[in-house]
Amino acid sequence: MKKNENSYKKSGVNISLANKLVKHITKLAKKGVKKTKVDNKKDEIGGFGALFDISNLKIKDPVIVSCTDGVGTKIELANKFKKFDTIGIDLVAMCINDLIVQGARPLFFLDYIAIGKLELKKTKQILSGILKGCKLSDCKLIGGETAEMPGVYSKDKFDIAGFSVGIVSKKKILDKKNVKKNDIVLAIPSNGIHSNGYSLVRSILKKNKLPYQLRKEILKPTKIYSKEILKLTSRNLINSAAHITGGGLIENLLRSIPQNLSLDINLSKIKILKIFKWLKKKNISDKEMINTFNCGAGFCVIAPKKNVIKIKKIFPRNFKPYEIGFISKSKRKVNLHESLKW
């Protein structure tokens, strides 16, 4: 190449490096997750489209469920602390936890990584997290896109998005229409902040030093609830579910009950994690906390009272569901009782 000759690489896009990354992903994906019945020669990452054979699933009246999501500004903290191996788990979790709200079994996942300058080490770490998330949720990474975008993102900046597809029998769909008066609202513990509210977290961290014992909490990956929730749906134990993400507990629960019913929630029952207690002390109101963060309740299920004991038995001790309220029929859509216990 002549000295002054223009090239794609000189403009900031390294295709040969991207090809190396594709080979790396293909190798990892073949190791990590279950195979389909699709012929292996066609079932490889790097093609124009990804194939997934559902003919062996034997699901009566199958319905496809799809979700897409990102991880918000948690990415900025991953960049700040140079820790990239868990943000991919967050990405998968945000999609899969939405998918299972409708009772769908996760099938496959696709990722999108946009980055200012492709760095193999960083990108491999991000992808290792995505593959781990797929393994935890028992789905397959079948494709994606890595876009090197100089001029759009600065050299060290990136963003990620995910897309997941699941399947459920029409009779097994979790529909809010199934929710009845006097059903119990159960909170399933989160393992931390998960992936919402990080713009507020970052704002606080600019002015306040995080205690040493809480440092690991900031980038702890989002809990994936798929295995336990699918056990509940397979046994017809729950009527509805809610992934507690942006908007907090109340807003997301309202999405999971019919228009003619109401929520009665006892805020004092919520088991608040230490990281939220620390954040609360930074001049944040109770209302702002419950509307921004999961506060310790990462997922909720709504079920008949007779099923509560059976539901609790499905979960390990540190993620045991607990009652925070019930479904009523009143003039007010939301009835909040007592206060959060900090």
Model confidence at 27, pLDDT cuts 50, 70, 90, reads: low
261 within 8 A of 326, measured Cβ to Cβ: no
Residues 6+ apart with CB under 8 A from 294: 190, 193, 194, 196, 244, 245, 248, 249
pTM confidence score = 0.91
Architecture of domain 8-172: 2-Layer Sandwich (3.30)
Give tens-digit pLDDT for 166-218: 999 999 999 999 999 999 999 999 999 999 999 999 999 999 999 988 989 99
**Residue range 209-229: average pLDDT?**
95
Give tens-digit pLDDT for 269-322: 999 999 999 999 999 999 999 999 999 999 999 999 999 999 999 999 999 999
Model confidence at 69, pLDDT cuts 50, 70, 90, reads: very high
184 has which bridge partners? 303, 326
**DSSP string computed for 138-156:** T-EEEEEEEEE-BTTB-TT
Look-up: residue for tokens 């009779």?
A: 171
Model confidence at 47, pLDDT cuts 50, 70, 90, reads: confident
**For helices 87-99 and 226-234, what crossing angle results, to 10°?**
20
pLDDT of residue 242: 98
What's the first-to-final CA gap in the chain, in angstroms?
A: 65
Closest to 44 measured CA to CA, from 31, 56, 55, 29? 29
pLDDT at 56 over 80: yes
Measured between alpha carbons, how far is 183 from 240 in angstroms, rounded to an integer? 10
**Residue range 15-32: average pLDDT?**
66
**DSSP string computed for 61-72:** SEEEEEEEEE-T
| Superfamily classification of domain 176-337 | PurM-like C-terminal domain (3.90.650.10)
Poorest-confidence range of 45-54, 78-87, 139-148, 197-206? 45-54
**Residue range 147-161: average pLDDT?**
91
Query: What single DSSP character describes residue 268?
Result: G
128 within 8 A of 87, measured Cβ to Cβ: no
Query: What's phi and psi for 277, nearest 5 deg?
Result: -65, -40
Closest to 300 measured CA to CA, from 225, 236, 211, 247? 225
136 within 8 A of 224, measured Cβ to Cβ: yes
**Residue range 134-155: average pLDDT?**
91
Query: What single DSSP character describes residue 176?
Result: G
pLDDT of residue 36: 40
Closest to 92 measured CA to CA, from 160, 32, 18, 188? 160
**DSSP string computed for 281-314:** TTT--HHHHHHHS-TTEEEEEEE-GGGHHHHHHH
Sorted by where each begins, the domain ranges of the chain are: 8-172, 176-337
What is the rounded average pLDDT for all residues in the chain? 91
174 within 8 A of 239, measured Cβ to Cβ: yes
Same fold for the pair 8-172 and 176-337: no
Give tens-digit pLDDT for 88-144: 999 999 999 999 999 999 999 999 999 998 888 999 999 999 999 999 999 999 999
